[in-house]
Amino acid sequence: MSTAVDHQQQASAGSDPSVEWWALAPDDAVAKAETDQARGLSEAEVTQRRSTYGPNALQSAPPPSIWKIALSQVLELMTLMLIAVTLISLLIGQVTTAIIVAVLVLFNVVTGTRQEVKARRSVDALAKLQTPKARVIRDGTLRLVDATELVPGDIVELESGDLAPADGRILRSANLETQESALTGESLPIPKGPAENTADTALADRTSMVFQNTSITRGTARVVIVETGMRTQMGRIASLLTQVGDKKSPLQLELDSLTKVLGVIAWAAVLVIVIIGFIRGQSLDELLFLATAVAISAIPTGLPVFVQSLLAWGASKLAKERAIVASLNDVETLGATSAICSDKTGTLTLNQMTVRTAWFGGESYKVTGEGYSFQGQVLGASGEALDASTLGLALSLPNDATVSADGDVVGDPTEAAIVVLGAKLGVDAEQARAQYPRLAEVPFDSDYKFMATLQRIPVQGETRLVLLVKGAPDVVLGRCTQMLGPGRDVVPVAADAATAELEGLSAKGLRTLALAARFLDDADEGRVAADPMSYVTDLVLVGIVGIVDPLRTEAKDAVDIAKAAGIEVRMITGDHAVTAGAIGAELGLGPGAVSGADLKQMSDEELSARLPDLHVFGRVTPDDKLRLVGLLQAQGSIVAMTGDAVNDAAAIKQANVGVAMGSGSEVTKQAAKLVLTDDNFATLVHAVELGRIVYSKITAYLRFQMTQLLSLIILFLAASAFSIAEGVALFPAQVLFINFFVALFAVLAIAADANPPGIMNHPPRDPKVGVVNPVSLTEWIVYGVVIFFIALVPLVWGPDTPSPTEPTASMTMSYVILGLATVLSAILMRRTPESGLLPPFAALGKILIWPVVLIVLSTELGFLQKMLGTVSLTGWQWLECIGLTLVLLVVVEGDKWLRRRRIAARRAAGVTSA
């Protein structure tokens, strides 16, 4: 079967790798590539070349097989310890114990393998989502295809924000610059163009080429693809590199260390107990039996699988909520987010420019309707609808944007807003353009900031030659000498009134656009058509419109949730600081708006000191964004930075959680750790909440697991030290039944429990405080000691004498107490410091009823009694077991009640730390 490697080998054999494309003239490069610049390749040529050159993809090491993944699970420290227990159990004739442990090993290996495969599939799904697209000309038509489908000879169009999909020779360009630091180490953008270089030009100086996976930071270009896949410059570098695996997150590293420590504790306990038994004169079989029981008690069998499963669950949940993480490790980081720097357009807003207010003929009008919907009216002060078809024509004609009835826009969003306003005045822009064709035009240019078109349109009952102008108000107003008055008559321009209107609209956060006209004689048509720019003067000001990108309806609620969660939200935008400040106030962000120019005047120390009082940043540069993220991190914040443009990529990469928009540039998405497919700020806040939930469940599981392990280790040590049943506090099969069957349901209950109440009403966790900290250690030890004492009571003061060889009521009662305590622990320890007795209980009840049933059956059914070494208990003995188990409830809930009081007291005193 042919592989990608085979294709690359065929390509190497069938083409000349020594062609110096950068030294060829554009036409010569096209000829050498055997293509056509205008029409591109035909589909037949593409198919033939793809069979020769293979896909345009960098090869990576083949993913490990399922069997290899399974083997890595077998070689985990925890699994190896369990295998050792299985072998020892067989050696001493404990077949039942050996079978149960072997089943546990198999369960862990299968579950771990499934989660690893699932995790790899999630990453593959993200890779497919982020597969760069390319605009390619084929058969004379411009198409959008996956970059992996490109072949040498394809003609590709590039623009700012794109990633170069392959190595290409530039045929033509406009203001083209690329960022090639990933390839050459050059940090500054490099000007590019079609002019050929000399044959001996070094890679970093080949200005006539674009290279795969480098970013287009400015301008546009048309290129011919000359190398694809592993034959590109990036491919040649990739072929020299060994694959580097994913790094583990701090949480996973900490848990790995905890696992090793627990292993040491477990085998140290075994060693101590064996030594005591040896001194006591026990036989080798008895010692091995005892060692097996202790080892089973002390090994946290489900720890790695649970954490991996929960992280995978979080990633899957995020994907369903339209947020895709690049790595499972990022789920954990999300929950610690303490600062969000969000861009505005499309994230906090709808990215649908909408005219909110208009000033025509010296009178103000309110415009109703949302976004690009044609539904709405232009209402005067008294509420009457404005009906002005001529005004609608003046708005619709000097525009290139089109808006469909479904709200689909082609063209500039601001122009689309004007088209929609014209529609609300009864004018269909497309029909109007067809009915009143342009006789001349001045295209919009950022240098002069306006657009003008010449048309013949009906004005007050007669057809007039009119030059229609729209553009930046200060520019257009400066070219006006007259304006429309309230009665639609032409009067001298009231510059003060117009300026006051502009200032009022800007103060409300509205963008403004001015509309003007010049009425000409028919005899002027030829002269205007020859030089329309010279006639954009002595204009009549028609009006000014105020345009806004409306906030997403859910954005303000999301900001409120984030603020309640102790997360500082800042808005970073290219808008003017005044406009941005008005939007920030509407969102409910904190105080303080500052411009990029003001930022540059501040030192890092000054800016750091003022950051608590600055929440809106306008007219910022990429350097400003990077600086802000760095300063926040220096203050100890875990920063999430959102963006969609190529100029956001550096700050996104620097952030702890870089967040890209699904509609954003390929460069930004590849720099990010999280991609929001719906471009919605509320989705990010929900993702942070989910990250907190995942972390909360992991810590709840650790609280439960460590408590169980410590109680069993102490119980066996005490039994050995005080010669209780010759050190055998419980039979190995009983410990296994609790750890495997009963605890399994408890863990499932913790995982399935409803989201912790008020999880977004607490400040973010301190990432410097790990899962093993003084508070958690205290919980583990105190709760574990309580379980040890209540399980020890029947062994010391029970109805009979415990025996290491015969089932007894005392050992059965201790086993029942430990089983019931395991179930109760799942309820009580699922959250902290909140009470575990608060609802909801629906999911818990459905799951935890089964381990209770299993505990009862294991003491009543004959075959289970024989397997586990239990006996039937009397009603009073059951009541004693339940009563002792309730001691755990009193201690745990009492401890959490005291902690809640201490936290409330600190908050009342103004201390916010937990």
343 flagged as catalytic: yes
Give residue 175's identity as a one-letter amino acid code: N
Q: Which residue has the tokens 């004379």?
A: 140
Q: What is the DSSP-derived secondary structure letter of residue 532?
A: G
DSSP reduced 3-state for 146: strand
Q: In terms of DSSP H, where are the helices of 347-494? A: 389-396, 413-424, 429-435, 473-478
| Main-chain phi, psi angles of 241, to 5 degrees | -100, 145
Q: 504 is written with which tokens?
A: 């009022």
- Classified as helix, coil or strand, 562 is helix
Q: Which among 167, 330, 343, 895 is annotated as catalytic? A: 343
- C-alpha–C-alpha distance, residues 215 and 236, integer Å: 18
Q: DSSP readout, 250-306?
A: HHHHHHHHHHHHHHHHHHHHHHHHHHHHHHHT--HHHHHHHHHHHHHHH--TTHHHH
- List C-alpha distances in Å: 616 to 4, 560, 600: 50, 16, 15
Q: Which two tokens stand for residue 854?
A: 């299993």
Q: What is the 3-state secondary structure (H, E, C) of 621-662?
A: CHHHHHHHHHHHHHCCCCEEEEECCHHHHHHHHHCCEEEEEC
b/e map 798-823, b = 16+ CB within 10 Å: beeebebeebbbbbbbbbbbbbbbbb
Other CB atoms closer than 10 Å to residue 858's CB: what's the count?
24
CA nearest to 323, candidates 688, 755, 573, 648: 688
The token duo for 563 is 């603020």
User: Could you tell me the CA-to-CA distances from 469 to 393, 459, 472, 477, 782 in Å, in that order?
Assistant: 12, 16, 10, 11, 78
Give CA–CA dist 527/440, Å, rounded: 10
- Neighbouring residues of 275: CB distance < 8 A, sequence distance ≥ 6: none
- Residue 157 in tokens: 């169009």
Cβ contact 382:364 at 8 Å: no
**Type of residue at 367:** V
Two tokens, residue 727: 């050190």
Residue 117 burial (C-beta neighbours within 10 Å; 0-12, 13-18, 19+)? middle
For 902, the enclosing helix (H) or strand (E) is helix 875-908
Are 202 and 186 in contact by the 8 Å Cβ rule? The answer is no
Which burial class, exposed, middle or buried, applies to 146 when counting CB atoms under 10 A from its CB (0-12, 13-18, 19+)? middle
Burial tier of 54 (Cβ tally within 10 Å: 0-12, 13-18, 19+): buried
In whole angstroms, what is the distance from residue 731 CA to residue 662 CA?
57
Helix-strand-coil split of the chain, %, nearest 5:
50, 15, 30
For 607, the 3-state DSSP assignment is helix
Paired tokens of 82: 């369990």
Q: What letter would DSSP give residue 46?
A: H
Q: How many CB atoms lie within 10 A of CB 368?
A: 12
CA 101 centroid distance within chain: 39
Identify whether the C-beta of residue 154 lies closer than 8 Å to the C-beta of residue 40.
yes
Provide the 8-state DSSP code for 23: G
Site of tokens 């090491």 = 61
Active centre residues (catalytic)? 343
